[in-house]
Amino acid sequence: MPTRCGLTAPTTVRRVWHPVGRLPARVYWRRRIVVLVVLLALLGGLAWLGVALLSGRDGTGAAAADRTEPVPEPALARVVPSVTAVATPDPPPVAVTQAAPPEAPPEPLAGGPCTDDMITLEVRAPAEVPVGSKPTFELAVANVSAVPCVRALDKGLQEIVMLDAAGNRVWGSNDCFPEASSDARTLAPGEVVSIPLVWGGLTSEPTCTVPRGNPAPGPYVLRARLDTEVSPDAPITLVQL
């Protein structure tokens, strides 16, 4: 500020904060505020620039770390998929089933009927018989069970037939002289009942209308039947005397 003598007065802190001049005091206060805002903006800009520089340096390091080149995948891995990448289906569960044990046959009832499984049937005859003779054959019924049982041995249920080597029927015990009777027997375990049947030595057929005659010499078989039970074949030979 010029003085009245034309000299410049020395500048002091007091004169800066409390300037004295021809202008109003508010003008100088506005100037002070503007200078202070500019100073604060300058300081803020410098601080932001420092932070940006530090952040850029850290970011550059991180970016350099991120730009590390990846290890190239082997060519074989690009063609053949990894075993872990291939989904293999699980095998279907195998159903395990246990077979039920076979049921044991019921025990035979003591005193009940003799079933075919409880008896055996056999034809007993001589090995050789002369042509034209009248031999006696036996039908043997045996109880092979462990309990006594009842079996019908009626005459109408008994039969012995003769067959030739070709299986043709030659004679039957019930063809021409059928008999009827009622004979229910109680057979003890192991008991054998022999029933005799006489053959007249001639051929026959069920109607007994065909002329009868002596069968030719040769091998034959005898087969017995008791109702539904059939015996094994018994060989017999007719010989010419």
pLDDT 10s digits, 68-87: 555 556 555 555 555 455 55
Of the candidate ranges 25-34, 159-168, 189-198, the one whose mean pLDDT is the lowest: 25-34
pLDDT band at 157 (very low <50, low <70, confident <90, very high): very high
20 φ, ψ (degrees, to nearest 5): -125, 125
**The CATH fold of domain 116-239:** Immunoglobulin-like (2.60.40)
Structure-model confidence comparison of residues 203 and 64, the more confident one: 203
What's this model's pTM, rounded to 2 decimal places?
A: 0.55
% of the chain residues with pLDDT over 70:
69
pLDDT band at 50 (very low <50, low <70, confident <90, very high): confident
Burial of residue 48 (CB within 10 Å: 0-12, 13-18, 19+) is: exposed
* Whether pLDDT at 6 is above 50: no
Cβ distance 197 to 190 under 8 Å? no
How many Cβ atoms from other residues are within 10 Å of residue 28's Cβ? 16
> Which pair of tokens denotes residue 51?
């932070």
How does DSSP assign the chain, residue by residue?
Answer: -B-TTS-BPPP-HHHHHS--SSS-HHHHHHHHHHHHHHHHHHHHHHHHHHHHHHHHHHHHHHHHHHTPPPPPPPHHHHHSPPGGGSPPPPPPPPP--PPPPPPPPPPPPTTSB--GGGEEEEEE--SEEETT---EEEEEEEE-SSS-EEEE--GGGEEEEEEETTS-EEEETTSSS------EEEEPTT-EEEEEEE--SS---TT--SPP-PPPSEEEEEEEEETTEEPPPEEEEEE--
The dihedral through the CA atoms of 178, 182, 188, 189 has a sign that is positive
pLDDT 10s digits, 93-152: 665 566 766 776 667 778 899 999 999 999 999 999 999 999 999 999 999 999 999 999
How many Cβ atoms from other residues are within 10 Å of residue 124's Cβ? 15
pLDDT band at 231 (very low <50, low <70, confident <90, very high): very high
Q: What is the pLDDT of residue 72?
A: 59
* Whether pLDDT at 221 is above 90: yes
Task: Give the bridge partners for 129, in sequence order.
Answer: 238
Nearest to 156 by CA among 174, 136, 138: 174
Cβ distance 123 to 160 under 8 Å? yes
Q: What is the pLDDT of residue 191?
A: 96
Structure-model confidence comparison of residues 213 and 39, the more confident one: 213
Q: What is the pLDDT of residue 18?
A: 58
Mean pLDDT taken over the chain: 81
Q: What is the pLDDT of residue 4?
A: 45
